[in-house]
Amino acid sequence: MSATPVRSTSSTATTIAAATAQIGNLNLVGHPQYDLNNLKFNPIREADVSREMTRRYMTDMIDHAETDVVIIGAGSAGLSCAWELSKNPKIQVTVIEQSVSPGGGAWLGGQLFSAMIVRKPAHHFLAEVGVPFDDCNENYVVVKHAALFTSTIMSKLLARPNVKLFNALAAEDLIVKNGRVAGVVTNWTLVTLHHDTQSCMDPNVIEAKVVVSSTGHDGPMGASGVKRLQKIGLVKEVPGMIALDMNAAEDGIVSHTREVVPGMVITGMEVAELDGVPRMGPTFGAMMLSGQKAAHCAMKSLGLPNLLDV
């Protein structure tokens, strides 16, 4: 057996590229660079594990205590918004997600089926992200599993140096100063879920120049951004999404995506809750392009060049 390891080092990560091994007639590409019959990991001190995690997390919290854009909710709209914003390396993007598992509703298609239907022209976004799809006809494409979209965008997004995802962290409230949304009030989701059984569990804060709310349609945590805006009198009403009409819904979501109050952009299904747009069921193109538009709304609010001003 012969194998050639290739090691490359960058400032952020060290990767060991797969090597090719010839075993008899078998040509193994991606042959592992260790002996599976006699495996021994390099040593580590338990305290070092703790220090690495703690130092990095706390450093991230300090770095992101004041940020350019906070995105609440890492569903398809929030991830698409983060993708678009993070193309500008000067914009620091902070994504907070109440669930341990980011991705929102985009891990499955409708009725828990696998395929994700995406209406054109949103297939251009899939191509940009590098998600393979079946080009079915002139109107829509199909990604063979919704998880392929979510895992692909997430893996590339999280590798970008100007993006940090804090999961298991909930936005409990907004910071509002002089009528402008200026950040979010945060807490560990496990704490948020136990406010009625424990007392005096104060939250933390993240100041942001712009907040993008992409908390999805109504549910246990859904639509929490617009519901809070209503409660504090910054929007009059939140009528909720109306009955299903896929055609009207997708166009409506994208066209209604906007900076709803100074400093706060709404995207994804939360837009339908705010404006009474029809529900659409499991078609996801509007989530991607609404997220993309929300990023440009945020850039406009930041005073940066954007596609809405051209």
Binding-site residues from annotation for substrate: 77, 97-98, 105, 171, 202, 217, 269, 279-281
110 is an interface residue for ligand FAD by CB under 6 A: yes
Q: Is 72 within 8 Å of 214 (Cβ atoms)?
A: yes
Strands in the chain per DSSP E: 6-9, 14-17, 19-23, 26-31, 66-72, 93-97, 116-119, 134-135, 140-143, 163-167, 169-177, 180-188, 204-213, 258-261, 264-266
| Least distance (Å) between residue 261 CB and ligand FAD | 17
- The residue within the footprint of ligand FAD, chosen from 68, 70, 76, 295 (CB under 6 A), is 76
277 is an interface residue for ligand FAD by CB under 6 A: no
Please state, in angstroms and as integers, the Cα–Cα distance from residue 42 to each residue in 45, 46, 233, 250, 260, following that order.
10, 13, 58, 52, 53
Which stretch in 61-69, 198-206, 210-218, 255-263 sits in contact with ligand FAD by CB under 6 A?
Answer: 210-218
96 is an interface residue for ligand FAD by CB under 6 A: yes
Using the minimum distance from each CB to ligand FAD, give the nearer residue, 240 or 262.
240
Q: Could you give the CA distance from residue 61 to residue 164 in angstroms, rounded to a whole number? A: 9
Q: Which of 273, 159, 135 is nearest to 213 (CA)?
A: 273
Sketch the per residue contact string, 134 through 173, with ligand FAD: x for CB under 6 A, - otherwise: ------------------------------------xx--
- The residue within the footprint of ligand FAD, chosen from 69, 91, 182, 287 (CB under 6 A), is 287
Per CB under 6 A, residues contacting ligand FAD are 72-78, 96-99, 104-106, 108, 110, 112, 170-171, 214-217, 221-222, 224, 268-270, 279-282, 284, 287
